[in-house]
Chains A and B, each alone.
Chain A
Amino acid sequence: MDKKKIFTGILLFGSLWGFSECVIGSALSDSGLPSGAIMTGFFALTYLVISRILYKQPGMQIGMGVIAGTLRLFNPFVGCHLCSAIAIMAEGIIFEILWYKISFDLKELKTITMQVSMGVLTSYIVFVGGFIVTQILTPIISGPGFYLENLIVILPNIFSNGLLPALIGGITLPVIVLVKNIDFSLKDRLYYPVTIGVSILCWFVVISSWIFIRF
C-alpha cells in the first residue's frame, strides 16, 4: 500500500482515538461512568482493530498510539494529561505486540469463542499494561521519581480494574468482526480530503477548547 495513504490512515485513526479520549472520555468521566474501561474496551479496541483490518500494516497501531497520546496532552478537560498520554502510547505498542501473530484477515478469529477470548485478552492486557507503564513512567518524566513499592502495592487494584475493559472487549471484538465485511473504502479522489479533513477537525476541536479554557 502507498506510504502516503498509510501515514494519513495513522493520522486519521490516531486523531479519532485521541479525540475520543479527550472529549468522550472526559464526558464519561464527568457522568461518573468508568471512562478508562469504556475507552480501552470499546473505543481503543475498535480503532486499533479496524485500522488493522483496513490497512493490513504492521507498526501502524504504534503510530496511532503516538498521535492519540500527543493529542491527549492538549486535552483541556479533566484528568491527568501526562499519565493518560503515556498510557495511550503504551496501549498502541502493547496491542501491536499482542496481535503480531494474528493474521490481517483475522482467519484465526472465525469462531465466536476465539473472538470473545481475543477481545477479553486484548482489552485486559492493553489496559493493565498501559496502567503499569504510566505508573512507572509518569513519576520518572514528571520529576518525583519512581518507587517500586508504590507500584507493587497497587498491582491488585490495577488487575482488578482490568476486569471491566476485558468484559467490554469481549463484546466489542465479535461486533467488529461481524461488521468487518462492510465496505468502508473511499474513492481515491475522496480519500485524502476526508482523512486529512477529519484529522484536522479532531485536532482543531481539542486545541481550540484548550486555548478557550486557558485564556
Chain B
Amino acid sequence: MFSGKEKIIPILAICVLLIGIFSTFYVNATNINKDTISIDGKEFSINQLFLMCKNRSIYTDDGEKTGIALDDLIFKVGINCPSCHEYIIKAKDNYQQTLSWNILKTGVLTEYCRVYFPETAHTFWVRNVIEIKVK
C-alpha cells in the first residue's frame, strides 16, 4: 500500500527532471551566437573596440585583469551624461547584470569579451558579453 509520500515524491522528482530537460532545450534554442557587441544599439567587433578605446589594468581578488576601460568605451560610443544611466550587461546565454555608472566606470572588457570590476562580487563579471544596454 502506497502512502502519500510514496506517491508524491516520485511524481515531484519526475516533474523537476522534466523542468530541467525542457529548460536545457530552451536555453540551447535561445542562445545568441554573434561575434559583435551591441552598445546602446550600435554593433562593434571586439577588435574595433580595442582600437577605439584606451586599455586599463585593474586588480581584482582573482589577479590583474587588462582590457578596455569601460568608462572610456561609454564616452567613445557617444553616451551623453553617463552618470544619468544604468547599464545592463548581457551575455550569450541570456545572463545579465545591471550596474550603476559608479561601478561600470571602474571596470574593463577583456579580449575574451568578459567584464571585470575590482570591487564587486564575481557574479557581476559577466562572460561572453554580447550587449551593453543603456537604461
A residues with CB within 8 A of B = 78-83, 101-102, 108, 111, 113-114, 116-118, 120-121, 124-125, 134-135, 138-139, 142-145, 147, 149-150, 153-154, 156-157, 159-160, 162-163, 166, 170
Q: Mark B96-108, 1 if CB is under 8 A from A, else 0.
A: 1111100100000
Interface residues on chain B, number (Cβ under 8 Å): 35
Is B13 in contact with chain A by the CB < 8 A criterion?
Answer: yes
Cα-based distance from A78 to B60 in the complex (angstroms): 12
Return 5 A-B CB contacts under 8 Å, by A number: A120-B13, A147-B98, A153-B96, A154-B95, A163-B17
**Min C-beta distance of B19 to chain A, whole Å:** 5
Q: Is the CB of A80 within 8 A of B16?
A: no
Cα-based distance from A104 to B24 in the complex (angstroms): 35
Is B51 in contact with chain A by the CB < 8 A criterion?
Answer: no
Q: Is the CB of A142 within 8 A of B10?
A: no
Q: Which residues of A contact B93 (CB under 8 A)?
A: 157
**Min C-beta distance of A159 to chain B, whole Å:** 4
**Min C-beta distance of A5 to chain B, whole Å:** 30
Q: Mark B56-70, 1 if CB is under 8 A from A, else 0.
A: 000001100000000
Q: Is the CB of A160 within 8 A of B10?
A: no
Q: Which residues of A contact B122 (CB under 8 A)?
A: 79-81, 83
**Min C-beta distance of B15 to chain A, whole Å:** 9
Contact residues of A: prevailing secondary structure: helix
Known: A144-B98, A150-B97. A138 touches B9 (CB 8 A): no
Q: Is the CB of B6 within 8 A of A114?
A: yes
Is B34 in contact with chain A by the CB < 8 A criterion?
Answer: no
Contact residues of B: prevailing secondary structure: helix
Nearest-CB residue, chain A, relative to B89: A150
Q: Which residues of A contact B12 (CB under 8 A)?
A: 117, 121
Is B27 in contact with chain A by the CB < 8 A criterion?
Answer: yes
Q: Is the CB of B95 within 8 A of A114?
A: no
Nearest-CB residue, chain B, relative to A153: B94
B100-125 CB contacts (< 8 Å) to partner A? 100, 103, 120-124
Contact partner, B16, options A138, A147, A162, Cβ 8 Å: A162
Q: Is the CB of A117 within 8 A of B19?
A: no
**Min C-beta distance of A143 to chain B, whole Å:** 7
Contact partner, B123, options A78, A80, A118, A166, Cβ 8 Å: A80
Q: Is the CB of B24 within 8 A of A82?
A: no
Known: A139-B123, A144-B99, A159-B23. A116 touches B94 (CB 8 A): no
Contact partner, A138, options B21, B94, B121, Cβ 8 Å: B121
Q: Is the CB of B17 within 8 A of A108?
A: no
**Min C-beta distance of B26 to chain A, whole Å:** 5
Q: Is the CB of B27 within 8 A of A160?
A: yes
Contact partner, A160, options B23, B62, B103, B123, Cβ 8 Å: B23
